[in-house]
Amino acid sequence: MNPMMAARAYAAVQGGAMPTATPAPQAGDGGFADLVKSAMTDMSQQSRAAETQMTQAIAGQGNLIDVVTALSSAEASLETVISVRDQVISAYKEIMAMPI
């Protein structure tokens, strides 16, 4: 999955639309660090929600459709985080290969 597809999937899971332009950072914004922290928090919350749905389904209190929805939401969040990680590693390698 390429980064753009992952970002669209993440936006769809979050119920928002894909942003057309990135707003300029405001004073006090952490920028990229806050973005990564937010993505990790969202992924963690989605994973916990999926675990909760699975536990309820096993106990006979949940619905299979809710479990599948929660799992695909958690998967989309994880794929987004992995895609961002891959891009950061790629950028780091490219910077390290630059001559001084």
Cβ 39 vs Cβ 84: under 8 Å: yes
Axis crossing angle, helix 64-96 with helix 3-14, rounded to the nearest 10 = 140
pTM: 0.58
Cβ 7 vs Cβ 19: under 8 Å: no
For residue 3, what pLDDT is reported? Answer: 59
Query: Residue 86 — very low, low, confident or very high, per pLDDT cuts 50/70/90?
Result: very high
